[in-house]
A and B are shown apart, each in its own frame.
Chain A
């Protein structure tokens, strides 16, 4: 029940927008998003708990569509500092109530 992330990689110019998708084959209770810069540990961005919920963090926001069993991360007016690998982590109904299952990641490169 590993979530599927798409795209696997994306290259942007500064100021461009990107969308990263995370979908699950099982009903989702919650979705977490993390960013990992090269050689560093993943850093928590946000958690989404309810269907249809949207949250924002600076120019990074996310939505959670419980019905479609998917979440999307939106990066607007991207900055060089946004570069890194983005992971979604999911908790499924009926599965473990504790540990997240992470997708394989989306590598985002922002060029000047």
Chain B
């Protein structure tokens, strides 16, 4: 597609429920990233996918968080047993890789997750 598409744009869930967030990157972008942004805060790295390589999960805050990328394209971030501290905007980005390093990121509009 023309840009990075994320769904849903807003999600309100009850504490303890599981949620799935979806990201559809720009076609041809081999790298895909998930970041989290809490109110007024910076961008916290969560997970990174590059081609067929094993994902870099070093930023996932707990084992309640997981992500997968199917067919080198669409990615799903799953949060199990949601907690109130999980409330944030979850941003997905994709990029080309240039000489083994990321080019400019294109971000999606994000999913605003509210845990009540």
A residues at B contact (CB < 8 Å): 29-30, 32, 34, 40-44, 46-47, 87, 89, 91, 96-105
Contact = CB atoms under 8 A, between A and B. Distances in A.
A100 to B, nearest CB: 7
B48 interface: yes
Contacts of A99: 33, 45, 48, 56, 59, 102
6 contacts: A34-B105, A43-B107, A87-B42, A96-B56, A97-B101, A100-B105
Interface residues on B, range: 20 to 34
Given A41-B91, A41-B110, A102 B104 contact: no
Interface in B62-89: none
Interface of A is mostly: strand
Contact of A98 (B35, B43, B50, B106): B50
B28 interface: no
Task: Give the interface centre of B31, B45, B109 by most chain A CB atoms within 10 Å.
Answer: B45
Contacts of A100: 33, 45, 102, 105
Contact of B103 (A43, A47, A96): A47
Contact of A32 (B56, B58, B105): B105
A100 B42 CA distance: 12
